[in-house]
Amino acid sequence: METLDLIEHTATNIKNSADCAIGFESARMVLAGFEGFKEDYISHVQEHQCTGTFEQPIPCVTLCPANVDIPGYIALAGAGRCADAVRLIRKDNPFPTALTTCRFYRTTKKTTGI
């Protein structure tokens, strides 16, 4: 914790004594990081490991009501394997055109009020 205390103390002193925006803002960002991610800082310094996750959910995977493999479909279509792409979609959704139309209508109705 001595390392983190030193970093926090130094950033506070720089923030309070900086004569330019670069010094002030960089110190402010360090302090904001301490405030929001203190556990991560401690994990890095004490245990030498990162506990954070950098995975972001893919909307077409997490929000698809039919659980269709959209990334697989895009990869196959991009590789020119259109018949395989259609087969992949139909494996989970036998009526892709109908579901897409319904999904578009519901989404449009929610966002536009139509």
Tens of pLDDT, residue by residue over 66-83, are 778 888 888 998 999 988
Rg (CA), the chain: 25
What interhelical angle do 21-42 and 2-17 show, nearest 10? 160
Tens of pLDDT, residue by residue over 36-54, are 888 888 888 888 888 776 6
Residues near 92 by beta carbon (within 8 Å), at least 6 away in sequence: 66, 67, 68, 69
Tell whether the torsion through CA atoms of 14, 18, 22 and 25 is positive or negative: positive
User: Taking the CA of residue 67 as centre, how many other CA atoms within 13 Å lie in the half-sphere pointing to its CB?
Assistant: 2
Which residue would you say has higher pLDDT here, 17 or 114?
Answer: 17
